[in-house]
A = this chain, B = another copy of it.
Amino acid sequence: MKPVKVGLLGLGTVGTGVVRIVEGHQEDLQNQTGSPIVIDKILVQDASKSRAVNIDPGKLTEDPWDIIHDPDISVIVEVMGGIELTKGYILEALARGKHVITANKDLMALHGPEILAAAQEHGCDVLYEASVAGGIPIIRTLVEGFSSDRITKIMGIVNGTTNYILTKMTQEGTVYSEALAEAQQLGYAEADPTSDVEGLDAARKMTILSTLGFRSNVALEDVDVKGISSVSREDILYAGRLGYVVKLLGIAESQDDFISVSVQPTMVKHSHPLASVNGVFNAVYVFGEAVGETMFYGAGAGEMPTATSIVADLVAVVKNLKLGVNGKQALLTYKLKKLKTDEQISSKYFMLLHVDDRAGVLAKITQAFAECEVSLESVLQQPNASITEAEIIIITHDASKAAVTKVLDAFKQMDVVKNIRSVYRVEG
């Protein structure tokens, strides 16, 4: 049997995992696809560097074109990261009829439609299961498992770094800066953690998931993003007392084909399946009109989980090669994108206010809610020994984002409101 030759772009953590699985599981892969699968050439920055896996040095190359222009290589696995340069490599590979598997969420979130169109033009597969939630096969689930359903909500804990930090803050009362430092020490957070903690990484993943779930081309700039750097120990404490945990959630919603996508720290009810997803684990909660509540849980990153998804995509590409049907299963984003306005985006909210501790203040506050037509689920006023003001904790009923913004604007104009300490979306 003629082996399928694969070119690997990148030999970092994930690339090493891909080599391990393809070599270690060769017999299983052959049994499933009917072909030996060989990693034939590997792009590295420095071919003389020592490696975590045993690799024939003859396979290493520092020249990407050596791989992309090799007519014997039929599949490219891209795990080098980067955006513009990498996109160039992938488009050239597709133009030469090579199938592409990528773990690159940044690339797919920014240039997914262009890359998928090029794939279709050249009759090639582009698969990217590993780009979201590492080892969880969530892309297959959305595209195939729920092909018959109308998905109305996707909520994801899709960034392990921030989930580790928030779990630490919740379970041990650590403050944000300490939890972040620890995540950095453990290698869960980068030296520059901005992309993770400010929600950008999660936003890229939500762009991909909402595009697939709603079958409409969602763009990164459609995602409303807020990170976790302002989450305080106090917020987590109050959340706990009210029966909630704070999680950085990606939330994508679709109603009558109007969609909204956001990433923000959210108070999630204890009984919700997402509330018990802790540490670096990821989970994606999907609500479908017919199927109802579902959730998919697993490792969101790491060498072997991510490599599992990449090699599962490789099996799919090789099966398609055997059947001669590559490039035929491309997702059609056949729905016109219609974004919800702030009037259409609706949820419950938590607010913590510091106010003047005198008669009539609560009346003024509740009056502001009433004028903006936001009704309240619960209101608690209490003294706070550490401040001179009184503290008001509010949970609203479902309210539009526009109305809540109006309420907050009104508070900013009020002398009696000293400080809008925090505002959170509430789920579950």
Residues in chain A within 8 A of chain B (CB atoms): 17, 21, 25, 28-29, 31-32, 129, 135-137, 140-141, 144-150, 215, 273, 276, 281, 288-299, 302, 304-305, 307-312, 314-316, 319, 322-323, 325, 328-329, 332, 334
Looking at the assembled complex, report how far the CB atom of A200 sits from the nearest CB atom of chain B, in whole angstroms: 26
A292 adjacent to B297 (CB under 8 Å)? no
The one of B292, B315, B319 that contacts A135, using a Cβ cutoff of 8 Å: B292
For A137, the chain B residues whose CB sits under 8 A away are: 140-141, 144-146
A332 adjacent to B290 (CB under 8 Å)? no
For A150, the chain B residues whose CB sits under 8 A away are: 25, 28
B31 adjacent to A332 (CB under 8 Å)? yes
CA distance A111 to B319 in the complex (A): 26
Residue of B nearest to A298 (CB): B294
CA distance A328 to B289 in the complex (A): 32
B304 adjacent to A299 (CB under 8 Å)? no
A308 adjacent to B323 (CB under 8 Å)? no
Residue of B nearest to A334 (CB): B31
The one of B136, B145, B302 that contacts A312, using a Cβ cutoff of 8 Å: B145
Looking at the assembled complex, report how far the CB atom of A204 sits from the nearest CB atom of chain B, in whole angstroms: 21
B149 adjacent to A308 (CB under 8 Å)? yes
Most buried by B among A289, A314, A329: A289
For A17, the chain B residues whose CB sits under 8 A away are: 290
A148 adjacent to B276 (CB under 8 Å)? no
B292 adjacent to A299 (CB under 8 Å)? yes
Looking at the assembled complex, report how far the CB atom of A322 sits from the nearest CB atom of chain B, in whole angstroms: 8
B319 adjacent to A329 (CB under 8 Å)? yes
A296 adjacent to B293 (CB under 8 Å)? no
B299 adjacent to A298 (CB under 8 Å)? no
A305 adjacent to B291 (CB under 8 Å)? yes
